[in-house]
Structure 1
Amino acid sequence: MTRIVLFASGSGSNAENIARYFSGNSAISVPLIISNKRDAYVHERARRLGIPSFTFSKAEFDEGSVVIDTLRTYEINFIVLAGFLLKVSQPLLDAYPGRIINIHPALLPKFGGKGMYGDRVHQAVVEAGETESGITIHYIDEHYDEGDIIFQATCEVLPEDTPEEVARKVHALEYAFFPEVIEKVIAKTFV
Protein backbone atom coordinates (compact mmCIF):
# COMPACT_ATOMS: atom_id res chain seq x y z
CA MET A 1 0.00 0.00 0.00
CA THR A 2 1.31 3.42 -0.98
CA ARG A 3 0.41 6.07 1.55
CA ILE A 4 0.29 9.64 0.24
CA VAL A 5 0.12 12.90 2.14
CA LEU A 6 -1.56 15.92 0.61
CA PHE A 7 0.00 19.34 1.24
CA ALA A 8 -2.45 22.24 0.79
CA SER A 9 -2.48 25.93 1.74
CA GLY A 10 -6.03 26.99 1.03
CA SER A 11 -9.51 25.71 0.28
CA GLY A 12 -8.38 22.17 -0.42
CA SER A 13 -10.81 21.34 -3.22
CA ASN A 14 -8.08 19.42 -5.07
CA ALA A 15 -7.08 17.65 -1.86
CA GLU A 16 -10.69 16.59 -1.28
CA ASN A 17 -11.04 15.41 -4.89
CA ILE A 18 -7.87 13.31 -4.57
CA ALA A 19 -8.85 11.86 -1.19
CA ARG A 20 -12.28 10.88 -2.52
CA TYR A 21 -10.73 9.35 -5.65
CA PHE A 22 -8.52 7.05 -3.56
CA SER A 23 -11.12 6.27 -0.90
CA GLY A 24 -11.48 2.50 -0.75
CA ASN A 25 -8.50 1.95 -3.08
CA SER A 26 -6.56 -1.14 -2.01
CA ALA A 27 -3.23 0.10 -3.41
CA ILE A 28 -3.19 3.83 -2.50
CA SER A 29 -4.50 5.65 0.55
CA VAL A 30 -4.55 9.23 1.84
CA PRO A 31 -4.08 8.97 5.62
CA LEU A 32 -2.85 12.55 6.19
CA ILE A 33 -3.28 16.16 5.08
CA ILE A 34 -0.80 18.89 6.01
CA SER A 35 -1.01 22.66 5.64
CA ASN A 36 1.07 25.72 6.37
CA LYS A 37 -2.04 27.69 7.39
CA ARG A 38 -4.01 26.96 10.54
CA ASP A 39 -7.15 28.63 9.15
CA ALA A 40 -7.05 26.95 5.72
CA TYR A 41 -10.39 25.43 4.75
CA VAL A 42 -8.59 22.21 3.82
CA HIS A 43 -8.67 21.34 7.55
CA GLU A 44 -12.49 21.39 7.51
CA ARG A 45 -12.50 19.19 4.40
CA ALA A 46 -10.08 16.78 6.12
CA ARG A 47 -12.29 16.68 9.21
CA ARG A 48 -15.36 15.83 7.12
CA LEU A 49 -13.39 13.11 5.30
CA GLY A 50 -12.11 11.65 8.58
CA ILE A 51 -8.48 12.33 7.65
CA PRO A 52 -6.09 13.76 10.28
CA SER A 53 -4.65 17.16 9.35
CA PHE A 54 -1.84 19.20 10.84
CA THR A 55 -0.44 22.70 10.42
CA PHE A 56 3.26 23.48 10.43
CA SER A 57 4.91 26.89 10.27
CA LYS A 58 7.14 27.99 7.42
CA ALA A 59 10.12 27.64 9.78
CA GLU A 60 9.10 24.05 10.57
CA PHE A 61 8.78 23.24 6.87
CA ASP A 62 12.16 24.86 6.16
CA GLU A 63 13.95 22.98 8.94
CA GLY A 64 12.07 19.82 8.06
CA SER A 65 12.55 17.45 10.99
CA VAL A 66 9.14 17.81 12.67
CA VAL A 67 7.36 17.48 9.31
CA ILE A 68 9.45 14.44 8.31
CA ASP A 69 8.86 12.85 11.73
CA THR A 70 5.10 13.28 11.24
CA LEU A 71 5.29 11.77 7.75
CA ARG A 72 7.22 8.79 9.13
CA THR A 73 4.68 8.35 11.94
CA TYR A 74 1.98 8.01 9.28
CA GLU A 75 4.24 5.79 7.11
CA ILE A 76 4.00 8.19 4.16
CA ASN A 77 5.70 7.06 0.93
CA PHE A 78 4.69 9.88 -1.42
CA ILE A 79 3.93 13.62 -1.22
CA VAL A 80 1.38 15.39 -3.40
CA LEU A 81 1.19 19.19 -3.42
CA ALA A 82 -2.41 20.26 -4.07
CA GLY A 83 -2.42 24.02 -3.84
CA PHE A 84 0.56 24.25 -1.50
CA LEU A 85 2.22 27.66 -1.65
CA LEU A 86 5.53 27.15 0.17
CA LYS A 87 8.72 26.10 -1.53
CA VAL A 88 9.56 22.53 -0.55
CA SER A 89 12.66 22.53 1.64
CA GLN A 90 15.83 20.57 0.97
CA PRO A 91 15.30 18.23 3.96
CA LEU A 92 11.95 17.12 2.47
CA LEU A 93 13.47 16.79 -1.01
CA ASP A 94 16.24 14.62 0.48
CA ALA A 95 13.79 12.48 2.47
CA TYR A 96 11.47 11.89 -0.53
CA PRO A 97 13.66 11.96 -3.66
CA GLY A 98 11.58 11.62 -6.82
CA ARG A 99 8.46 11.16 -4.69
CA ILE A 100 7.04 14.68 -4.53
CA ILE A 101 4.74 16.00 -7.26
CA ASN A 102 2.86 19.24 -7.76
CA ILE A 103 0.11 20.61 -9.95
CA HIS A 104 0.46 24.08 -11.46
CA PRO A 105 -2.52 25.95 -12.98
CA ALA A 106 -0.80 26.87 -16.26
CA LEU A 107 1.31 25.33 -19.00
CA LEU A 108 4.84 25.48 -17.61
CA PRO A 109 7.37 26.86 -18.25
CA LYS A 110 5.01 29.80 -18.93
CA PHE A 111 3.47 31.56 -15.93
CA GLY A 112 5.50 29.73 -13.29
CA GLY A 113 7.92 30.72 -10.58
CA LYS A 114 7.77 32.42 -7.22
CA GLY A 115 4.53 34.30 -6.65
CA MET A 116 2.74 32.67 -9.59
CA TYR A 117 -0.16 30.80 -8.08
CA GLY A 118 -3.95 30.73 -8.18
CA ASP A 119 -5.71 33.78 -9.55
CA ARG A 120 -2.40 35.54 -10.26
CA VAL A 121 -1.64 32.91 -12.90
CA HIS A 122 -5.04 33.20 -14.58
CA GLN A 123 -4.81 37.00 -14.59
CA ALA A 124 -1.37 36.80 -16.23
CA VAL A 125 -2.65 34.34 -18.86
CA VAL A 126 -5.51 36.69 -19.81
CA GLU A 127 -3.30 39.80 -19.78
CA ALA A 128 -0.78 38.07 -22.06
CA GLY A 129 -3.51 37.32 -24.61
CA GLU A 130 -2.86 33.57 -24.50
CA THR A 131 -5.16 31.37 -26.58
CA GLU A 132 -4.72 28.36 -24.32
CA SER A 133 -3.92 27.53 -20.74
CA GLY A 134 -4.13 24.35 -18.73
CA ILE A 135 -2.42 22.32 -16.05
CA THR A 136 1.07 21.00 -15.54
CA ILE A 137 1.79 18.12 -13.18
CA HIS A 138 5.49 17.94 -12.40
CA TYR A 139 8.09 16.61 -10.01
CA ILE A 140 9.37 19.00 -7.37
CA ASP A 141 12.98 20.09 -7.24
CA GLU A 142 14.78 22.89 -5.42
CA HIS A 143 13.31 25.60 -7.72
CA TYR A 144 9.74 26.87 -8.07
CA ASP A 145 7.92 25.13 -10.93
CA GLU A 146 11.05 23.80 -12.65
CA GLY A 147 10.91 20.06 -11.91
CA ASP A 148 10.50 17.54 -14.73
CA ILE A 149 7.07 17.70 -16.33
CA ILE A 150 4.97 14.54 -15.99
CA PHE A 151 1.75 15.60 -17.72
CA GLN A 152 0.01 18.60 -19.27
CA ALA A 153 -3.57 19.16 -20.38
CA THR A 154 -4.86 22.23 -22.18
CA CYS A 155 -8.00 24.30 -22.42
CA GLU A 156 -8.91 27.06 -24.84
CA VAL A 157 -8.78 30.67 -23.69
CA LEU A 158 -11.23 32.80 -25.63
CA PRO A 159 -10.62 36.55 -26.18
CA GLU A 160 -13.59 37.38 -23.96
CA ASP A 161 -12.60 35.03 -21.11
CA THR A 162 -12.07 36.61 -17.72
CA PRO A 163 -9.48 35.26 -15.28
CA GLU A 164 -12.38 33.66 -13.38
CA GLU A 165 -13.53 31.82 -16.52
CA VAL A 166 -9.98 30.59 -17.17
CA ALA A 167 -9.81 29.44 -13.54
CA ARG A 168 -13.05 27.47 -13.98
CA LYS A 169 -11.68 25.71 -17.07
CA VAL A 170 -8.35 24.96 -15.38
CA HIS A 171 -10.05 23.62 -12.23
CA ALA A 172 -12.08 21.23 -14.37
CA LEU A 173 -8.82 19.88 -15.82
CA GLU A 174 -7.31 19.56 -12.34
CA TYR A 175 -10.24 17.55 -11.02
CA ALA A 176 -10.37 15.34 -14.12
CA PHE A 177 -6.68 14.51 -14.46
CA PHE A 178 -4.73 14.99 -11.21
CA PRO A 179 -5.90 11.85 -9.35
CA GLU A 180 -5.38 9.64 -12.43
CA VAL A 181 -1.89 10.99 -13.01
CA ILE A 182 -1.00 10.49 -9.33
CA GLU A 183 -2.13 6.87 -9.65
CA LYS A 184 0.01 6.32 -12.77
CA VAL A 185 3.09 7.97 -11.24
CA ILE A 186 2.77 5.86 -8.09
CA ALA A 187 2.36 2.70 -10.17
CA LYS A 188 5.65 3.50 -11.96
CA THR A 189 7.48 4.68 -8.82
CA PHE A 190 6.66 1.68 -6.63
CA VAL A 191 7.03 -1.17 -9.14
Structure 2
Amino acid sequence: MNLGFLASHGGSAAKHLVAACHAGTLNATPLALVSNNSRSPALAWAREAGLQTAHLSSAKHPDPATLDHAILAFLTTAGVDTLVLSGYMRELGPQVLTHYAGRIINIHPSLLPRHGGRGMYGDRVHEAVLTAGDTESGASVHLVTQGIDEGPVLAQTRVPVLPGDTLDTLKARVQAVEGDLMLRALQDLARG
Protein backbone atom coordinates (compact mmCIF):
# COMPACT_ATOMS: atom_id res chain seq x y z
CA MET A 1 0.00 0.00 0.00
CA ASN A 2 1.11 3.51 -0.78
CA LEU A 3 -0.40 5.69 1.91
CA GLY A 4 -1.65 9.25 1.81
CA PHE A 5 -3.02 11.11 4.79
CA LEU A 6 -5.44 13.97 5.33
CA ALA A 7 -5.13 15.80 8.66
CA SER A 8 -6.39 19.11 10.02
CA HIS A 9 -4.37 19.31 13.23
CA GLY A 10 -1.77 17.00 14.76
CA GLY A 11 -2.56 13.85 12.79
CA SER A 12 -1.58 11.56 15.69
CA ALA A 13 -2.97 8.40 14.06
CA ALA A 14 -1.13 9.24 10.83
CA LYS A 15 2.10 9.82 12.77
CA HIS A 16 1.65 6.43 14.48
CA LEU A 17 1.17 4.74 11.09
CA VAL A 18 4.21 6.42 9.53
CA ALA A 19 6.31 5.20 12.47
CA ALA A 20 4.88 1.68 12.01
CA CYS A 21 5.85 1.76 8.32
CA HIS A 22 9.39 2.85 9.15
CA ALA A 23 9.64 0.15 11.86
CA GLY A 24 8.40 -2.56 9.48
CA THR A 25 5.24 -3.21 11.51
CA LEU A 26 3.06 -2.10 8.61
CA ASN A 27 3.93 -3.24 5.11
CA ALA A 28 3.17 0.08 3.44
CA THR A 29 4.93 3.17 2.19
CA PRO A 30 3.84 6.57 3.54
CA LEU A 31 4.03 9.05 0.70
CA ALA A 32 2.03 12.22 1.26
CA LEU A 33 0.01 14.32 3.68
CA VAL A 34 -2.52 17.04 2.89
CA SER A 35 -3.82 19.49 5.47
CA ASN A 36 -6.52 22.11 5.17
CA ASN A 37 -4.78 24.02 7.97
CA SER A 38 -1.55 25.84 7.05
CA ARG A 39 -0.46 25.81 10.72
CA SER A 40 -1.17 22.12 11.23
CA PRO A 41 1.54 20.36 13.24
CA ALA A 42 0.95 17.40 10.92
CA LEU A 43 2.48 19.31 8.01
CA ALA A 44 5.68 19.88 10.01
CA TRP A 45 6.20 16.32 11.26
CA ALA A 46 5.24 14.86 7.86
CA ARG A 47 7.89 17.00 6.12
CA GLU A 48 10.47 15.87 8.70
CA ALA A 49 9.44 12.24 8.03
CA GLY A 50 10.10 12.71 4.31
CA LEU A 51 6.51 12.80 3.09
CA GLN A 52 5.34 15.10 0.33
CA THR A 53 3.06 17.71 1.90
CA ALA A 54 0.52 20.23 0.71
CA HIS A 55 -1.73 22.82 2.30
CA LEU A 56 -4.96 22.61 0.29
CA SER A 57 -7.96 24.44 1.66
CA SER A 58 -11.00 26.48 0.75
CA ALA A 59 -8.88 29.58 1.41
CA LYS A 60 -6.68 28.59 -1.54
CA HIS A 61 -9.48 26.98 -3.58
CA PRO A 62 -12.86 28.60 -2.74
CA ASP A 63 -14.72 26.46 -5.28
CA PRO A 64 -15.35 22.99 -3.74
CA ALA A 65 -14.91 21.21 -7.09
CA THR A 66 -11.55 22.91 -7.63
CA LEU A 67 -10.40 21.95 -4.14
CA ASP A 68 -11.55 18.35 -4.67
CA HIS A 69 -9.60 18.22 -7.93
CA ALA A 70 -6.47 19.75 -6.32
CA ILE A 71 -6.48 17.18 -3.52
CA LEU A 72 -6.97 14.31 -5.95
CA ALA A 73 -4.24 15.60 -8.29
CA PHE A 74 -1.74 15.97 -5.45
CA LEU A 75 -2.44 12.49 -4.06
CA THR A 76 -2.39 10.68 -7.40
CA THR A 77 0.78 12.48 -8.51
CA ALA A 78 2.39 11.36 -5.24
CA GLY A 79 1.41 7.74 -6.04
CA VAL A 80 -1.09 7.27 -3.20
CA ASP A 81 -3.39 4.25 -3.51
CA THR A 82 -4.84 4.17 0.02
CA LEU A 83 -6.05 7.24 1.91
CA VAL A 84 -6.17 7.63 5.69
CA LEU A 85 -8.11 10.42 7.40
CA SER A 86 -6.45 11.40 10.65
CA GLY A 87 -8.54 14.09 12.27
CA TYR A 88 -9.45 15.64 8.92
CA MET A 89 -12.24 18.11 9.64
CA ARG A 90 -13.65 18.53 6.13
CA GLU A 91 -15.92 16.46 3.92
CA LEU A 92 -14.27 14.82 0.96
CA GLY A 93 -15.39 15.77 -2.52
CA PRO A 94 -16.88 13.35 -5.05
CA GLN A 95 -13.70 13.05 -7.14
CA VAL A 96 -11.60 11.88 -4.19
CA LEU A 97 -14.41 9.62 -2.92
CA THR A 98 -14.84 7.98 -6.32
CA HIS A 99 -11.14 7.57 -7.10
CA TYR A 100 -10.33 5.99 -3.72
CA ALA A 101 -13.64 4.15 -3.17
CA GLY A 102 -13.07 1.23 -0.79
CA ARG A 103 -9.57 2.54 0.00
CA ILE A 104 -10.32 5.47 2.33
CA ILE A 105 -10.38 4.86 6.05
CA ASN A 106 -11.20 7.11 8.97
CA ILE A 107 -11.04 6.80 12.72
CA HIS A 108 -13.95 8.08 14.79
CA PRO A 109 -13.79 8.52 18.61
CA SER A 110 -16.88 6.48 19.47
CA LEU A 111 -18.41 3.07 18.94
CA LEU A 112 -20.15 3.75 15.64
CA PRO A 113 -22.95 4.00 14.79
CA ARG A 114 -23.39 5.53 18.24
CA HIS A 115 -22.43 9.23 18.39
CA GLY A 116 -21.56 9.50 14.70
CA GLY A 117 -22.81 11.66 11.85
CA ARG A 118 -22.80 15.31 10.89
CA GLY A 119 -21.50 17.59 13.63
CA MET A 120 -20.15 14.70 15.73
CA TYR A 121 -16.40 15.14 15.91
CA GLY A 122 -13.68 15.72 18.46
CA ASP A 123 -14.78 16.87 21.90
CA ARG A 124 -18.44 16.88 20.85
CA VAL A 125 -18.36 13.08 20.65
CA HIS A 126 -16.89 12.66 24.13
CA GLU A 127 -19.38 15.17 25.54
CA ALA A 128 -22.23 13.20 23.95
CA VAL A 129 -20.95 9.95 25.47
CA LEU A 130 -20.80 11.52 28.94
CA THR A 131 -24.19 13.25 28.58
CA ALA A 132 -25.81 9.99 27.46
CA GLY A 133 -24.44 8.19 30.52
CA ASP A 134 -22.79 5.51 28.39
CA THR A 135 -20.77 2.96 30.34
CA GLU A 136 -18.34 2.39 27.49
CA SER A 137 -16.93 4.27 24.56
CA GLY A 138 -14.03 3.63 22.24
CA ALA A 139 -12.90 4.17 18.70
CA SER A 140 -14.05 2.88 15.33
CA VAL A 141 -12.19 2.62 12.05
CA HIS A 142 -14.53 2.68 9.08
CA LEU A 143 -14.47 2.94 5.33
CA VAL A 144 -15.33 6.42 4.18
CA THR A 145 -18.39 6.77 1.99
CA GLN A 146 -20.47 9.77 0.96
CA GLY A 147 -22.50 9.70 4.20
CA ILE A 148 -20.75 11.07 7.29
CA ASP A 149 -19.58 8.14 9.48
CA GLU A 150 -21.88 5.77 7.56
CA GLY A 151 -19.29 3.50 5.91
CA PRO A 152 -18.78 -0.09 7.05
CA VAL A 153 -16.93 -0.43 10.37
CA LEU A 154 -13.65 -2.31 9.90
CA ALA A 155 -12.48 -2.43 13.53
CA GLN A 156 -13.44 -1.17 16.97
CA THR A 157 -11.80 -0.96 20.37
CA ARG A 158 -13.84 -0.43 23.52
CA VAL A 159 -12.80 1.53 26.59
CA PRO A 160 -14.75 1.94 29.82
CA VAL A 161 -16.37 5.21 30.83
CA LEU A 162 -15.36 5.49 34.47
CA PRO A 163 -17.25 7.20 37.29
CA GLY A 164 -16.00 10.76 37.54
CA ASP A 165 -14.71 10.85 33.97
CA THR A 166 -14.36 14.29 32.45
CA LEU A 167 -14.16 15.15 28.80
CA ASP A 168 -10.36 15.22 29.08
CA THR A 169 -9.97 11.89 30.89
CA LEU A 170 -12.31 10.07 28.51
CA LYS A 171 -10.71 11.69 25.47
CA ALA A 172 -7.23 10.63 26.65
CA ARG A 173 -8.38 7.03 27.17
CA VAL A 174 -9.92 6.87 23.69
CA GLN A 175 -6.95 8.55 22.00
CA ALA A 176 -4.61 6.07 23.67
CA VAL A 177 -6.14 3.19 21.65
CA GLU A 178 -6.63 4.95 18.31
CA GLY A 179 -3.16 4.48 16.81
CA ASP A 180 -3.02 0.72 17.35
CA LEU A 181 -6.61 0.32 16.18
CA MET A 182 -5.86 2.17 12.94
CA LEU A 183 -2.71 0.09 12.49
CA ARG A 184 -4.66 -3.15 12.93
CA ALA A 185 -7.34 -2.03 10.46
CA LEU A 186 -4.73 -1.12 7.84
CA GLN A 187 -2.91 -4.43 8.34
CA ASP A 188 -6.24 -6.22 7.74
CA LEU A 189 -6.96 -4.07 4.69
CA ALA A 190 -3.50 -4.88 3.28
CA ARG A 191 -4.23 -8.60 3.68
CA GLY A 192 -7.48 -8.16 1.77
| TM-score (structure 2 length as normaliser) | 0.91
Segments of 5+ residues of structure 2 without an aligned counterpart are none
Map of 1:84-123 to 2, 5 A cutoff?
Answer: 84-123=88-127
CA RMSD for the aligned pairs?
Answer: 1.6
Map of 1:67-78 to 2, 5 A cutoff?
Answer: 67-78=71-82
User: 145, 149, 152: which one pairs with 1:141?
Assistant: 145
Q: How far off its partner does 1:107 sit?
A: 0.6
Distance across 2 between alignment mates of 1:24 and 1:61: 40
Q: Does the Cα contact within 8 Å between 1:10 and 1:42 map onto a contact in 2? A: yes
Letter of the aligned partner of 1:159 in structure 2?
Answer: P
Q: How far off its partner does 1:48 sit?
A: 2.5
Q: SS in structure 2 opposite 1:23? A: helix
Q: SS in structure 2 opposite 1:30? A: strand
Segments of 5+ residues of structure 1 without an aligned counterpart are none
Q: How far off its partner does 1:18 sit?
A: 1.0
Q: How far off its partner does 1:187 sit?
A: 2.1
Q: How far off its partner does 1:60 sit?
A: 6.8
Distance 1:61 1:49, change over 3 A: farther
Distance 1:24 1:131, change over 3 A: closer
- 1:38 aligned to 2:38? yes
Moved more, 60-69 or 26-35: 60-69
Moved more, 148-157 or 55-64: 55-64
Which aligned segments of 4 or more residues in structure 1 are displaced greater than 4 angstroms?
none
Q: SS in structure 1 opposite 2:141? A: strand
Distance across 1 between alignment mates of 2:91 and 2:63: 9
| TM-score (structure 1 length as normaliser) | 0.92
State the number of aligned residues.
187
